[in-house]
Structure formats: C-alpha cells, structure tokens
Amino acid sequence: MSAAATAVERATRASRIGAWAGGAVLVGACSVPLWSDSGTMRLLVEFFCFLVMAQMWNLLAGYGGLVSIGQQAYLGLGGYLLFALANHAGVNPFLCVPLAGLFAALVAWPTAKLVFRLRGGYFAIGTWAVAEVFRLLLANVATFGGGSGQSLMAMAAIPRAVREPAAYLLALAAAAGAVAAVYLLLRSRHGLALTAIRDSERASESQGIDVAFTKFWVYLVSAAGFGVVGALYYMNILRISPNAAFDVNWSAYVIFIVVIGGIGTIEGPILGTLLFFALRETLAALGSWYLIALGGIAVVVMLYAPGGLWGALAGRFGLQLFPVGRRLRRRQ
Amino acid sequence: MIGWIDTLVQGVLLGGLYAMFAMGLSLIWGVMRLVNIAHGDFILLAAYLALVFGETANLHPLAAAPLVVAAMALLGYWLQRGVINRTLGKGLLPPLLITFGLSVVIQNLLLEIFSADSRALRAERITTGSLQLGDSLAVGWFPLGVFAAAIVLGLALQAVFARSALGRALRATSDDQETVRLVGIDDRRMYALATAIAFALMALAGVFLGMRTSFAPSDGPANLLFAFEAVVIGGLGSFWGTFAGGILLGVAQTVGFRLDPGWGLLVGHFVFLAVLLFRPQGLFPRTR
C-alpha cells in the first residue's frame, strides 16, 4: 500500500456544515448589541463566561486528566485583579480582561509546582485547598473591602451605551477564542500528545511525550481562561466578594456542564452550557433543588453514559462538528 | 503564658477530631486508591442523623451514636457496591466526579431539609464538665474523651489490619486486586467492607463534631479539607503520621485563631502548603 493510495482526512461533512453554521451564529452574535436590550446582553455575557469555563475545565480534565475542583481560584483572582487595577490604579477596565488572564497564568505557575506533587483525587482536593487559601487571604485585605467585598466604581465613569456592548463583545470574543483555541490546539501536534495522555499516560510517556510538561502548560492555559472569565463576569455584575468569587459552586456548575454535555469533546461543553442555561431559566424558582437535580443527573450520566449527551448523539449519528482526529481514506 | 499552654492543649484535642476525620479518608485511599470528595458531607450527614434521632426519639447523641454508625456503615456498603464499584477500572474520572456530584446533592438536600441555620447536638453535662489542671488551666472532659476515642479506634483499626483475616484480605486486595480473586477473595466485597468501616468511623466523627460545635449544611467541604490536610501533613499511608498531621493542623488552627480570628484557618492551610513545598512525602512517611 503506497502513500498515494490513501488520503488523510481531517474534516467531515458535518464539520463543514457546522463550520458554516458556526460562522453564521458568530456573525449573528456580533449584531446582538444593535438590536437587543441590556438584560439579554447581560445574560449572554454570563453564558459566554460559562462556555469559556466549560471549555477550559474540559481541556484540563477531559484531555489533561487533571481533575481540579479549584479553578475558582483563578476566576476569583481575575475578578480581583480587575477591581484592583480599575478601582485603585485607574486602569481601563476593558484592558484588565486580558491582564486578568495573564495574571492568573502567572499565579498558576508556582501553584502548579506545588499541587502537581499530589496525584489523582488528592490533586483535586489540593486545588480546592489552594482556592480556599486565596479566599481567606482576600477576606483579610481591607483595601478590597475584606469579607464584604466592594463595588466596581470605575465602571460608573463609562457611559452605559459604551459599557454594555463593549463588555458583551469582549465576552463573545473570549468564548469564540476559547473554542477556537481548544480546537486548533487539539488539531496540532500538541493536541495529539494531549489526546495520547488522556488515553494512557504511561504509553504516551514511552513514546517520548513529556507528560509532566504538557500537563503543566494545560494547567496554565486553563488558569488563564478562568482569569479572563473572572474579569468579564465581575465587570458584568459590578460587585465582588471573596465568598462569591472563590465559591466552589463555580466548579460544581462547570463540572456538571461538562459531564452532562460530554467530557473529552469540544462539542460537549457547548451543548452542556446551552442545556445548563435552558434548565436554569426554567427551573430557577426551585432554588437548591436545581443543584440537587443537576448533581443527580451528572452522577447518573457518569454511571450509565460516561460520554455525556454529545457522546450519545455522536455515537448514534456519527457526528463530529469539531473533528480533531485524522482519518485515512483510500483514494478512488 | 498559661494562655498559650491552654491554646496548645485545645489545639491538640481538636487535632484528635481531625485525626478521626482523616482515618476514613486514609482507609479508603489505602485500600482502593480512591478519594471520596463527599467525605466531609457524609460526616455532616451523620451529625444530622444524630440530630433527627435526638429530636424524634429524644435520644442522647451518645445513645444515638450506635444507630448512626450502623446506618452510615450500611450506606457506605451500599454506596460502594451499588455505585462506586460500577466505575472500577474506568480510570480516575468517574469515581471522583460521582462523589463530587454526591457532595453537592447531599449538601443541598441538607439545606432544603434543615435550612441554612446552625444546629447543635444537645448533650448537656457531658460537654460542659472539665478537668481542672492547676488554677487557670482546665481541659474539657468531652474533647479529652474524643481524643482518647480517636487513639483507641486507631489502635483497633491497626489491629484489625495487622492481625485479622479481614485485615489480611483487605491488604491483599489493596496490593493486587486481580490476584486476590485467584485465592477466592471477592475484591468488590472487600471494597464495600472497607467503605463500610470508613463510613462507621466517619459517623462517629460526625456525632462528636455535632456535640463539640454547632454545624450547618455548608460545613461539609471544610471537614473534607481538614481530613485531607491531616493526611498530607502526616504522610500518605502512614496511620500514626495521619494522627500527628491532625494534631499539627489542630494546633496550627487554634494558634492562628488566637493571633487573629481571621487567620485561624489560613494558618492551618499554610502548614499544609509548607509541608507540600518542603516535604511532599509528609512528615512521617511510611517506610517499607
């Protein structure tokens, strides 16, 4: 069999249609500030925030095999960086969004060195302990209002007609950027290494993949994503407090989104986020029963359909909207 | 000066409770290499069970304790057999994510049923009496009893593991899950028994926690973190190390609280981080 007789395919019919549909959705989403009200925009900002977090957590756990329950550490730090720079140093709040990502990655660097000494389940709890440390530390900083937090006064200087569309477009860019980044990353050489690590750490190590280093930069990328979300989210709701910003429920929501949607796929977190918001808008009145239901569904999914909703759909219809693999096809 | 001695003693006694929290976590890890993220919430569930027994049957917490322990052991056995065992051999993710899901479910169920208010187990007399040591130093009988119970349980657990047939089977299952099947040991049943024992320990710890302080549905994660930090500080797989880790954590927290109420828990976390940084194998690692 010669190389000429086969071709490597990296796209599917569904992915070509999906790319056009995705492009259309993106263009449509860009036009939202022109015709929508501020309530809808705020809801969509929140939606994009959860989409970014779901993609970043999925990259970490679904591909890197690093189950973290402490990514809220970077969300909180990103949020607090926005308040520190915008409120106390007069930096433009919108500029703080990318800076928050950078800051989160910088903090994640030494943190990774520390928590990577723990394995598996203990790593998960270790990341949580680190998030608790940041929460308690910031509760002791009087400049940021201590335990009761503070409001984002810097935003008052920017007129509402500028503020809301700008925040919205930033959030949209972050969401589209996160999906595109994960997609391109997984299609690259590094993505292949990451997928190999997901399937078998030991085997990929023997193939010459630097497992420790790969996990390290995945952790950094994920932290940066959560940092950006922290700035975006708190720019949207204008008030931050340690208990809210470092709440473990952030991890709970994101983990449930990814597990129910389908862990280890790019489509899964998107589907999961859509489902999460659809459920939330209909079941919001139920209060904590909503979380009980989500947790229960996640447990059942993990037990009986570990591929999640997207796994079930993809398995049944052979769908792949974001094909990251390589398929060999014999030339006609 | 006497104040500091008092703080130290209180810290050591608090550490006894943390050691009890940590035993169950350590046991499940030792046998199955699994971490139960809902560990702290199950401890809290036991405290609420004792509360229900107390309110409906007017039982003293210590009288309710055997019932709570039995109920929790059954729950643990069923949880392992019916749920966690299904995920064996499928990697790290499923058991972690399932127990995390359970943690959120339990916490919010407790919130729905008992509201967010703090509750306490009423055990007058027992929890108020104290042993006078000198003029200005007194040690409560109850914390002293909890500490003694932790030591006795630790010794008993060690004896079971070292000498009994069950202990041998559990250790063998821990060493090689596949091979024990060849000699007629049901590895899945061993896992369920290990979880049942761990849950019994957690149940007792929960009752003691409820008698010692007030508790609320959101306290579960903190219990998990304290248990985990005690295990890491002491060194994985080392029983007396875990005990020492619990004590060190308890002392760090009480000393921190004495310095500044806002710093108590932080000082405990810092000790954990320092151990992770300078001595990742723990202070008293098991030597083979």
The total of structural domains in chain A comes to 1
Tell me which residue range forms the domain holding A17.
9-325
* Residue A1 covered by a domain: no
Helices and strands, number each (H, E), in chain A: 15, 4
Per-residue model confidence (pLDDT) at position B51? 95
Domain boundaries, chain B: 21-123+140-215
Higher-pLDDT residue of A9, B257:
B257
Compute the Cα dihedral for A215, A219, A220, A221 and give only its sign. Answer: positive
Closest CA to B207 of B128, B110, B142, B112: B142
Is B29's CB within 8 Å of A117's CB?
no
CB contact under 8 Å between B263 and A140, yes or no, is yes
Separation of alpha carbons B194 and B172, rounded Å? 12
For chain A, which residues lie within 8 Å of any Cβ of chain B, measuring from their own Cβ?
Answer: 61, 65, 67, 69, 114-115, 117-118, 120-122, 124-126, 128-130, 132-133, 136-137, 139-140, 248-249, 252, 255-256, 259, 263, 287-289, 291-292, 294-296, 298-299, 302-303, 306
Q: Around Cβ A52, how many Cβ atoms within 10 Å?
A: 27
Yes or no: say if B15 and B241 are a contact pair by the CB < 8 Å rule.
no
Please report, for the domain that includes residue A109, its CATH number.
1.10.3470
Q: Which chain A residues touch B219 with a CB distance below 8 Å?
A: none
Task: State how far the Cα of A141 lies from the Cα of A198, in Å rounded to an integer.
Answer: 40
d(CA A69, CA A132): 11
Which percentage of chain B shows pLDDT scores above 90?
60
Helical H segments across B164-261, by residue range: 165-175, 177-182, 187-212, 220-234, 239-259
pLDDT tens track for A168-204: 999 999 999 999 999 999 888 888 888 888 888 888 8
Question: Rounded to whole angstroms, how far apart are CA atoms A100 and A144?
Answer: 16
Rounded percentage of chain B residues whose pLDDT exceeds 70: 99
Q: How would residue A332 be classed by pLDDT, with cut points 50, 70 and 90? A: low
Element (H, E) at A151: strand A150-151
Residue B30: band (very low, low, confident or very high) from pLDDT cuts 50, 70, 90: confident
* B176, pLDDT greater than 90: no
Mean pLDDT taken over chain B = 90
Total beta-carbon pairs less than 8 A apart between chain A and chain B: 126
Q: Which residue of A has its CA nearest to B224?
A: A125
pLDDT of the residue at B284: 79
Residue range A136-144: average pLDDT?
Answer: 90
pLDDT band at A3 (very low <50, low <70, confident <90, very high): low
Residue A41 has pLDDT above 80, yes or no: yes
Answer yes or no: do B105 and A295 touch at CB < 8 A: yes
> CB contact, 8 Å: B35 with chain A?
yes
Over residues B205-229, mean pLDDT: 94
pLDDT over 90 (residue A319): no
Q: How far apart are CA A176 and CA A23, in angstroms?
A: 10
Which of A85-94, A274-283, A306-315, B279-288 comes out lowest in average pLDDT? B279-288
- Mean pLDDT along residues A55-60: 95
pLDDT tens string B257-278:
999 888 889 999 999 999 999 9
* Cα–Cα distances in angstroms (integers) from residue B86 to residues A236, A279, B37, in the given order: 43, 28, 17
Phi-psi region of A327 (alpha: psi -120 to 50; beta: other; left: phi over 0): beta
As a 3-state breakdown, chain A gives helix, strand, coil percent values, each rounded to 5, of: 80, 5, 20
Distance CA A121, CA B242 (A): 17
Is B101 in Cβ contact with A295 (below 8 Å)? yes
Q: Which of A53-57, B28-32, B55-59, B141-145 reaches the highest mean pLDDT?
A: A53-57
User: pLDDT value at position A254?
Assistant: 96
Backbone angles phi, psi at A85, to 5 degrees: -75, -45
Instruction: Spell out which residues of chain B touch residue A128, defining contact as CB-CB under 8 Å.
Output: 221, 225
Partners of B131 in beta bridges: B139
What φ, ψ does residue A327 adopt, rounded to 5°? Answer: -120, 135
In a domain, residue A4? The reply is no
Task: State how far residue A288 is from chain B, nearest Cα, in angstroms.
Answer: 6
pLDDT of residue B288: 41
The complex's ipTM works out to 0.91
Q: Is residue A221 part of a domain?
A: yes
If you average pLDDT over residues A250-277, what whole number do you get?
93
| DSSP alpha helix (H) spans, A188-320 | 189-199, 201-206, 211-237, 242-245, 249-261, 267-283, 288-304, 308-317
Report percent pLDDT > 70 for chain A. 98
Across the range B91-114, mean pLDDT stands at 92
